[in-house]
A and B are shown apart, each in its own frame.
Chain A
Amino acid sequence: MKMDRRQEKDVEAARRSAMAALAAAPADALKRLCDEAGLPGDAQLLRGPETGLVTVRGRIGGGGAPFNFGEATVTRATVRLTTGEVGHSYALGRDREKARLSAIADALWQDPVRRSEIEEKIIEPLRVAQREADARKRAETAATRVDFFTLVRGED
C-alpha cells in the first residue's frame, strides 16, 4: 500500500510531535515510562549517543534578519531495531541514556503495529505532564498580571 503525499505529511507531523514530546521530557520521567512499557533495550546503536553543539539563532528585532546568539549542548542517537526500523533522537542537554531511549521510541513509533502502544504508554503521558506544567506556569504568571484601575479625581 502506497501512502499518498498528504498521508505522508500527516505521518511526518505526528512523528515530529512525538519527537518533540521525547526531546522536552525530563530524563527520569522518560526512563520510568520506558521501564514500565517494557521497551526492548537491545536496539543496535548506529550513531552515538553523542553530545555536540548547536548554534542558536534569533532574529533582529524579533522578526528581522537572523543572527547567532549563543550555543547549546545537544545529545543525539540513532538506533536500528532487530526488525529493521531506524530511529533518531535529538534533545537539549547531555543525557546519553535519554537520547538512546528516545531513539528506540522513535524507531518503534515508525512500526505501524507498535505506534499506538508507544503513543499511549510513552508519548501521551509525557505530553500530559508537559501540558500540566505549562498550564500551572501560565496560571502563576497570570496571577502577577497588573489590573489597572483609575482613581476619579475632582468633580466631573
Chain B
Amino acid sequence: MYVAVKGGEAAIENAHRLLADRRRGDRSVPALRIDQIVEQLALGVDRVMAEGSLYDRELAALAIVQSRGDLIEAIFLVRAYRTTLPRFGYTKPIDTAAMQVERRVSATYKDLPGGQLLGPTFDYTHRLLDPELANGGDADEPAQREAPSERMARVSEILAHEGLIEADGELPDDHVTGDITREPLEFPLARDIRLQALSRGDEGFLLALGYSTQRGYGRSHPFVGEVRIGEVELELDVPELPFAVPLGRIRVTECQMVNQFKGSAKVPPQFTRGYGLVFGQSERKAMAMSLCDRALRTREMGGDITAAAQDEEFVISHADNVQATGFVEHLKLPHYVDFQAELDLVRRMRAEHDARENAGAAETREAAE
C-alpha cells in the first residue's frame, strides 16, 4: 500500500527564503559580482566547469554564488542547466600542440624544445598565508620577456622518435566515438568513454585513486612527461558553411603521464602512457586523471586487476559527484514508510530472537536440573 503524506509546503517555502537570506549574508557587505568571481576565484570556476562538464565561466560563477560556495552543489546546478539547451553538434578534436601555452613543464626532459615555462603556478610558493591580501593586496604587473612564437611540440612526439614509447591511443577504425551523455554505460568500456567519464569525474575521488596507485595499489611507475595549460581553438562543422566555423578559444589542461613498463605477454618493455585533459587550469585533476587512465588500462596491457584504481566498473561508476551526492544525500529525505516497515520487521525478528533465547535458556535449565 502506498500512503501519500502531504504537508510541509509552508516550511519548505520559508526554508528557501531563509536560504536566500543566509546566502546573501550581512547586507552591509557588498554583494559579490559575477565578474569578481570569474576573475578572482578563477580556479574554483574552472573546477565547476570541468566537473559540471560545461565550459561557460559566467554560468559557473553564478552557480558558485547561488550555492554559497558549495562547489558540488554548483556543479549540480550547471549539470541541470545543460539539459535545457539544444545541441549544435560535436567540435573537431582540439589540437593541443597548437595551444597558446601559459604553462608547460616536463619532469622527464630538462631541455625540451620550448623550454620549461612555469606560468602562474603555486609550485615553489612557501604556502604561507599572506595577510596583505586581507586588505585588498595590489599585485605588480607581470614581468615580460621576448617570446619565440614557435609551435610547441608535445613531449610524446619527442619521445616517439626512439620508438620506446607507445603511440597516442588509437581505437579500431570502425569505432564510433562514444558519448556518456547520450548512451548508458555498458561495461567493459572503450578508452574514449572512460576518458569522458574521468574528465568530468570528481577531482577528490580521482586524486585519491591516483594516490593509491603511487602507494602500491596498482603501481604504474609514473613520470609527468608533460603538463601544459593554455588556450586552444574550437571549430565546428555546420551544414550552412563550406568550412569548419571557428567558435573561439577555451583554456584546457593536458597531462601526458609516462609509465615505465617491464612488458607482458602482450606488450614488449616500453614506456606506456596515461592521458589527462580537463577544462580550465586544473593541473591536479589532469594529473590524477592520467594516473587513473593508465591504471584502467591494466587488462589491455595483459595485467591482472588487483587494485581499486584498476577496476573500471568501480572507478567509473563512482567518479561522478553529482550521481554520488544524489544517492548519498537522498538518504535524508523522508523515508517514513520504508522505516515503519523496517521497524515492524526488526520488532518481529527481535521477538523471535527473544523467544529462541528464552526457550534455549529453559532447555539448559532443565538439562542442569
Using a CB–CB cutoff of 8 Å, the interface residues on chain A facing chain B are 12-13, 15-16, 19-20, 23-24, 50-74, 76, 78, 88, 90-94, 134-146, 148
Q: How long is the Cα–Cα vector from A56 to B235 in the complex, in angstroms?
A: 9
- A140:B168 contact, CB within 8 angstroms: no
Does chain A have a CB within 8 A of B343? Answer: no
Known: A15-B243, A67-B178. 19 other contacts (CB 8 A): A24-B249, A54-B234, A55-B179, A56-B234, A58-B96, A60-B171, A66-B93, A68-B177, A69-B200, A72-B234, A72-B250, A73-B56, A90-B245, A91-B247, A91-B248, A140-B143, A142-B146, A144-B119, A146-B117
Give the chain A neighbours of B247 by CB distance below 8 A.
Answer: 23, 54, 72, 74, 90-92
Mask: chain B, 188-210; 1 = CB below 8 Å from A; 0 = not: 00011101100110000000000
Q: How long is the Cα–Cα vector from A92 to B277 in the complex, in angstroms?
A: 19
- B168:A63 contact, CB within 8 angstroms: yes
Q: Which residue of A lies closest to B195 (CB)?
A: A67
Mask: chain B, 114-157; 1 = CB below 8 Å from A; 0 = not: 01111110000000000000000000001111111100001011
- A53:B87 contact, CB within 8 angstroms: yes
Q: How long is the Cα–Cα vector from A90 to B119 in the complex, in angstroms?
A: 31
- B147:A142 contact, CB within 8 angstroms: yes
Q: How long is the Cα–Cα vector from A53 to B349 in the complex, in angstroms?
A: 55
- B117:A144 contact, CB within 8 angstroms: yes
Give the chain A neighbours of B148 by CB distance below 8 A.
Answer: 142
CB-defined A-B contacts under 8 Å, sample of 21: A13-B243, A23-B245, A54-B90, A57-B90, A57-B177, A59-B93, A61-B168, A61-B256, A61-B275, A63-B97, A65-B175, A66-B93, A69-B196, A70-B53, A73-B59, A73-B85, A76-B88, A90-B246, A140-B144, A141-B103, A148-B110
- B240:A88 contact, CB within 8 angstroms: yes
- A92:B234 contact, CB within 8 angstroms: yes
Q: How long is the Cα–Cα vector from A92 to B177 in the complex, in angstroms?
A: 23
- B177:A54 contact, CB within 8 angstroms: no
- B100:A12 contact, CB within 8 angstroms: no
- A52:B87 contact, CB within 8 angstroms: yes
Give the chain A neighbours of B156 by CB distance below 8 A.
Answer: 61-63
Contact size class for B? 35 or more
Does chain A have a CB within 8 A of B345? Answer: no
Q: How long is the Cα–Cα vector from A84 to B91 in the complex, in angstroms?
A: 30
A82 to chain B: closest CB distance in Å? 20
Sort A-B residue pairs by CB-CB distance and give the 4 closest, nearest first: A61-B168, A60-B169, A64-B168, A142-B147
Contact (A64, B142) CB under 8 Å given A23-B248, A57-B91, A138-B100: no
Give the chain A neighbours of B101 by CB distance below 8 A.
Answer: 141
Q: Which of A12, A69, A142 is within 8 Å of B145, CB to CB?
A: A142
- A71:B242 contact, CB within 8 angstroms: no
B267 to chain A: closest CB distance in Å? 16
Give the chain A neighbours of B93 by CB distance below 8 A.
Answer: 57-59, 66
Q: Which of A16, A51, A55, A58 is within 8 Å of B89, CB to CB?
A: A55
Does chain A have a CB within 8 A of B16? Answer: no
Q: How long is the Cα–Cα vector from A67 to B238 in the complex, in angstroms?
A: 19
Q: How long is the Cα–Cα vector from A79 to B244 in the complex, in angstroms?
A: 19
Q: Which of B55, B117, B242 is within 8 Å of A73, CB to CB?
A: B55
- B279:A143 contact, CB within 8 angstroms: no
- B142:A140 contact, CB within 8 angstroms: yes
Give the chain B neighbours of A64 by CB distance below 8 A.
Answer: 167-171
- A138:B149 contact, CB within 8 angstroms: yes
- A137:B240 contact, CB within 8 angstroms: no
Does chain A have a CB within 8 A of B273? Answer: yes
B142 to chain A: closest CB distance in Å? 4
Give the chain A neighbours of B120 by CB distance below 8 A.
Answer: 144
- A56:B250 contact, CB within 8 angstroms: yes
